[in-house]
Amino acid sequence: MSSGIPPGLQIVDATTPAVLVLPGPVTRDEVPGLCAEVRARLEGTGGRPGGGVLVCDVAGIGPPGLAAVDVLARLQLAARRAGGRIRLRDPDPALSALLGFVGLAFDVEGQAEEGEPAGGVEEAVESGDPAL
């Protein structure tokens, strides 16, 4: 007996963020349309747990450079103005380093968020601590 993917729509709950796949190198002419798409996808998500997160798949954004940084900065600004934020999926390590170098902080899928322990880390319990 094999179990495949059931036909029909995937189940998506209110905590599942939308995903925007950025195409190959993005031109300046495409940026306003992408910003409008970010705003549209985040519209009305301010009340969601996590404050409205849009995942941007940047695997195909092209060579890491200032053009990519400019695009991501503008998308982050559009997301913030819409009451949300951007989380990157599959960034090139060089792009992540460049973003850090210019002072832009993005959440990256699969990394622990600020103030959160890394996945698989358990807090130690001291023997004198009462059970909850």
Please report which residue ranges of the chain form alpha helices under DSSP H. 31-42, 66-81, 93-101
Q: Terminus-to-terminus CA distance in the chain, angstroms?
A: 44
Residue whose C-alpha is closest to residue 83's, from 116, 111, 41: 41
pLDDT at 11: 47
Positions of the chain with pLDDT lower than 70, given as ranges: 1-16, 44-51, 112-132
Q: Is-above-0.85 flag for pTM? A: no
The domain spans of the chain are 18-108
CATH number belonging to the domain at 18-108, selected among 3.40.640.10, 3.30.750.24, 3.30.420.40, 2.60.40.10: 3.30.750.24
Identify whether the C-beta of residue 39 lies closer than 8 Å to the C-beta of residue 81: yes
pLDDT at 10: 47
DSSP run (H or E) holding 57: strand 53-57
pLDDT at 63: 83
